[in-house]
Chains A and B, each alone.
Chain A
């Protein structure tokens, strides 16, 4: 009975993480953040796999997760090189910059209602110099009496 509760708990958490990754992938426009959300989906799946492996006492689940991690590393390497090339050509990390590869007949996406950045520049206070200038020894200005 305990084992079922552990299984259900981990499966629900895996589903929540997968759902969060899915939502993030669909909502964000930055290529790198989209890829991070895809990795988040992979983490949800890994958790679910390990939970099933424990429930059925099967090592195959954890072996599959090992391979998933290896493939995720390959995919991250190649994808990041691709993103660097895309960013260099387009000038930004926005995936909407590559709209020309969209389906024929669909409207292009246009930015509307661009909000201003609310974070204002902070003006740091500056202090006017105060106090008396120190006395200058005329001999010291010519040569140093001690090192």
Chain B
């Protein structure tokens, strides 16, 4: 994590000046412990738990609201920061993710359930935008149209029919402070466990991977330019045909992944529409191998496979491809889902009509006793 290493360097330099050059061993040990991914995640989780505990009912009045909001917001930013700095449009991502988390916090903390529903709708809008940015255009719009447009509106109708006026008692106090504390600790430890699995496993700031990606990109671009030059010369047959000049931005990713049978594979992902694979891989694999061998890179050995493919998800005709997949491969599932929707509709209507007959002899709800 670049920012953590930078902070460590400045901290060590400052401390060197402060202690006149002598490093106290225990202070050094504490610093080293704090700058690991595990400590980062633990700090984020503790902040998250404290912030959310201060926000949910029965807490959440006045100063608790402010403190809780600041703590939770800080925790979320720290959770997301190590990966955000490597994304191309980081401010947009931060804004949308902040909106989604803000909507989620509003949903769980609002005293009025109508406000909860509106906060949830705003969170859905941010999530729809995030899905759009991640190559799920249809799903982003479907989320907004189906969830925010239909489901939340149905919620609001039910609230109109059933919710009493003003803030009800059970909304203001919840189950008490102890269940809220346990829930906050449990929820944040779950988030910490998932993040720990992500960060401790594969660091996003692996400089060797960056170097490898640059080398592979350069090899592919050189080969493609050579093929274009060959095409212009009459009498030279070259099996690669490229329409336009290929830049290094067309190569989205080059990673080495372990395979199930013990070997490794170098997977190169090209952006869709680059036109590089129109006539097969023709020479790209050998070009990559020779370029890496020339530069003395030890990243791959002769037994490593090389696979080059186009990124399908980000293609221009994304929705057409998703439709092809859904109606081609999951056709029966779609028909079953349609029947399920019909059954749910009929079931809901029949429950509403015959619900009155259930009162006799069934479990009846009573108001909660007050002490």
Contacts and interface: CB of A to CB of B under 8 A. Distances in A.
A85 B351 contact: yes
Interface size class of A (residues with CB under 8 A): 35 or more
B34 to A, nearest CB: 20
A22 B171 contact: no
Contact of A17 (B100, B184, B363): B100
A27 B57 contact: yes
A4 B161 contact: no
A18 B174 contact: no
Contacts of B188: 19
Contacts of B359: 89
Given A1-B206, A20-B101, A59-B312, A67 B194 contact: no
A5 B173 contact: no
Nearest to B370: A111
Interface string A54-78: 1001011011011101111111111
Interface residues of B, number: 120
Contacts, number: 337
Contacts of B135: 50, 54
B190 A117 contact: no
A62 to B, nearest CB: 6
Interface of B: 48, 52, 56-58, 61, 76, 79-80, 83-84, 86-88, 93, 97, 100-101, 104-105, 107-108, 110, 113, 116-117, 120, 123-124, 127, 130-131, 134-136, 138-139, 142-143, 146-147, 150-151, 154-155, 158-159, 161-164, 166-176, 179-180, 182-184, 186-188, 190-191, 194-195, 198-199, 202, 204, 206, 209-210, 213, 252-253, 255, 269, 309, 311-314, 321-322, 325-326, 329-330, 333, 337, 340-341, 343-345, 347-348, 351-352, 355, 358-359, 363-371
19 contacts: A1-B213, A12-B79, A12-B80, A21-B108, A27-B108, A28-B174, A29-B171, A30-B113, A33-B108, A36-B107, A43-B143, A47-B131, A47-B134, A54-B136, A67-B337, A84-B355, A97-B367, A99-B368, A100-B365
